[in-house]
Structure 1
C-alpha cells in the first residue's frame, strides 16, 4: 500500500519501490531511482526494496549491483509484501497489462515502460484500472522518458509560449541500426508475441508521444507503410523463451514476426502536416531521434545524438539576422538542468530517467496525477494501432477518433 502520511500529507518514510525486470530497462530505472534523491528534493527519499525476475541468479546479481535487499522470482509476491509503494514495470510488453492491473487493484502506484501495452484492448483495460485506482489516490504513469530531455522540455515551452506561431509542418524520425546484420539473433524484441510490434512500438511510440507533447496537437489520421527486411534470423539460446519456431529447412533460425521499419504521414487537429519514420535499419545511426517543427513565426529542430542542443529559428527577426541558432540547453533556467552541473556541462541518456522518477516521486508526495498518465499511453496506442492497420492495407488512410 502507499506510504503512510503525516498530518501535513508528507510521506513519513521513503517511497518504497520494487522493480520488475532486471535487463537494460531495469538497470536504467534502478540507476534513476538511486540517483534522483541525490539531486532533487524528494522529501524522505526513495528506497529500492525488491527486484523481481524469473532467473533467480540474474536477479540476485542485479540486486547486489544496485544494493537492493530482496529478490522475488514471482512478481505477484510484491503485491502482498506490505512494503511496496510503487511497482516499476520494466518487462517486455506482453507482461505490462497483467502486472499493472494487479498492482493498481492492490493499491500500489505503477510506473510502466512504454509502449503501454501490446494491444489496444490491453491498453484500454490498463486505463480502466488506473481510473479505478485514482479514486483511491493510487496513481499510474507511463515511461515516455524522452519528455524529460531538457532540450525537448524547453522546445515544448517555446511552442506553448507561441514562439513558433501557427504550426504547419512536423517531422519526426527515430533511426537506429542495431539489427542491420542479418546474423543478429532473434531476440525478444523481434517476436510479436512478446514485443507487440518492432520499430513501430519500440521507436515509433516515442516520437508519436513527443509530437503530441511538444506541439500540443493530436493526429487525426494516418497513412503508413512498413517492411521487414530480414525475415529469418538465428535463434538465440533456448532459455530466452522466444515463441518463434525454427523451420525444417533452417532448423537453427526462426521467423521475425515484427516490422523492421515503418514510415507514415498524418494530419493534426491543428491543421499541420506530419511525417514519421522509425527504423532499425538506418546504417550508421545509433540513437538518432529527431524532431523538427516548422511554424509561421519560427522553427525548432532537435537530434538526440546531440541531446544538449536545440536549434531555434526566430522568423520574426529581420532577414539579415535570420537563421537557425544553437541553444546549449544547460543553463540553470532550462528545464531540469539547474539540478545538475555548471552551464555547459552536458547531461546524458540516463538523466532523462532520473528526471522521470523524480517527477513521479514529487507528484505522488503532492497527491497529483503524474504525467504522462496511462490515458496518454492509450492515445499513443491508438495511433500505433491505426498505423499498423494502415500499413496492413498498403498505406490506406485510417481516421483517428481520440
Structure 2
C-alpha cells in the first residue's frame, strides 16, 4: 500500500469471466494510478464454496462467502462489485446500497426497466448519505473512445449527422454450441441486445453526448433450441441478433446492429460518427487506434491516430508511446475513476441513471420489434 492512503475493502459477487477481469483491475489499479483509496480484495462471493475458494486463491481474494447477503453487510467490505447474471443485479445492488456500501454493477444494469428504475432510485437515496454507485460500461474507458468523445465535445466534427455502430461476435454460430444462462430470458433478460447492444448504445451516447430518443427495430432468433447440460435440448428464449434505426437528441440519425452470429468476427465493436467537418471511426479489434477524416480533394482519406500518447486519456499511467494497451486495462481505468469519485465525494459516471437510460432504449427496441418495427419513443417506454 502507498503511504498515507486509506484502504477500502472490496466484496465481489461472482467469479466467472467478469469476475476474473474485475479481480485483475482491483489488484492492479493502485500500482499504476494514484487513487485516494487502495482496494483490498476482502471477500469473494460464490454459491459453491469449493469453486469460490479455488477462484479466491487464483485471483488473490482473502476470504469467501457463499451467501451474498452476508457479504454485503460485512464490516470489512466498503464496496460491493456485482459480477453476476442480470437477474440478481437489482436485489444485490439495492441491498448493498441500503447497507451503506458503494456499488459497481456490471452491465446491463438490470433485466427490466422496472428493476433499473428501482436501482436508480436506491442509488439516489444512497447518494444523500455519501454512498456512490456506478454501472460498468468498460468501453467508455478505452483510451481511443474517450479521445473520440473529447474530439466530438471540442467541436472538431462540427454538427453530428450520422452514427453507425455494430457489435459483432460469432461464438454462437454453431447450432450445436451448448445452452448457457445467456440464452435464457429469466437469467439474461435478453440476448445479443442486452449483452452487446447495451455496450454500443452507451458508447454512442457517451461519444456524441446525445441520447437516443426513438427506435425502429427488429430482432431474430436463428437457433431456437440448443443441447442441454444433462442431455436433450433446451429452448432459447432470447434474441440472437438485434438491429435498429434510431434518432438522437441532437438531430443525428443512427443505426445499430448486435449479433453473436457474425461468423469470423470475434469482438468487433465498432463506432463511426460523421459530422459536418470531420468523421471518426473506431474498431475494438484495433482498440488503440482511431480513424480520422478531415479535408477535401481527390487525395483525401481517413488517417490513423495511434492513441498511445501520454496526453491521451488514461495512457500516461502505462507504457511509452506505441506500446499497446488491451481489454483488461479498460477495467483498471473503470475502477480508478470510481475510486477517484468516492474519494472526492462526487458522482461517478456512468451512473445508475445512465444505466437506466440504456435500459429504456433496450426496452424500446424490444417493443418496436414486437410491433413489427413500429417507431417507438424511448420516453414512452
Same fold (TM over 0.5): yes
The aligned length equals 378
Q: Give 1:271's aligned residue.
A: 251
Say whether residues 1:207 and 2:187 are aligned partners: no
Give the distance between the partners of 2:17 and 2:5, measured in 1 at CA: 32
Q: Give 1:291's aligned residue.
A: 271
- Deviation of 1:11 after TM superposition, in Å, equals 8.6
Q: Give 1:248's aligned residue.
A: none
Q: Give 1:309's aligned residue.
A: 289
Q: Which structure 1 residue ranges, 4+ long, deviate > 3 Å from structure 2?
A: none
Give the TM-score normalised by the residue count of structure 1: 0.92
Equivalent residue in structure 2 for 1:397, among 366, 375, 379: 375
Q: Give 2:157's aligned residue.
A: 164
Say whether residues 1:27 and 2:20 are aligned partners: yes
1:3-22 to 2 correspondence within 5 Å?
A: 13-22=6-15
Contact 1:11–1:365 (CA<8 Å) still a contact in 2? no
- Deviation of 1:320 after TM superposition, in Å, equals 5.7
Say whether residues 1:234 and 2:227 are aligned partners: yes
Distance 1:75 1:259, change over 3 A: same
| Structure 2, unaligned runs of 5 or more | none
Give the distance between the partners of 2:278 and 2:59, measured in 1 at CA: 45
Q: Give 1:241's aligned residue.
A: none
Give the distance between the partners of 2:79 and 2:299, measured in 1 at CA: 51
Contact 1:113–1:144 (CA<8 Å) still a contact in 2? yes
Q: 72-81 or 273-282, which moves further after superposition?
A: 72-81
Say whether residues 1:41 and 2:39 are aligned partners: no
Say whether residues 1:365 and 2:358 are aligned partners: no
Q: Give 2:134's aligned residue.
A: 141
| Structure 1, unaligned runs of 5 or more | 1-9, 238-250
Contact 2:160–2:275 (CA<8 Å) still a contact in 1? yes
Say whether residues 1:225 and 2:218 are aligned partners: yes
Give the distance between the partners of 2:251 and 2:80, measured in 1 at CA: 39
Say whether residues 1:386 and 2:379 are aligned partners: no
Give the distance between the partners of 1:321 and 1:349, measured in 2 at CA: 34
Equivalent residue in structure 2 for 1:55, among 22, 40, 48: 48
Q: Give 1:6's aligned residue.
A: none
Say whether residues 1:94 and 2:87 are aligned partners: yes
Give the distance between the partners of 1:168 and 1:193, measured in 2 at CA: 38
Contact 1:163–1:314 (CA<8 Å) still a contact in 2? no
Equivalent residue in structure 2 for 1:282, among 234, 239, 262: 262
- Deviation of 1:294 after TM superposition, in Å, equals 0.2
Matched position secondary structure for 2:6: coil
Q: Give 1:65's aligned residue.
A: 58
Give the TM-score normalised by the residue count of structure 2: 0.97
Give the distance between the partners of 1:59 and 1:374, measured in 2 at CA: 28
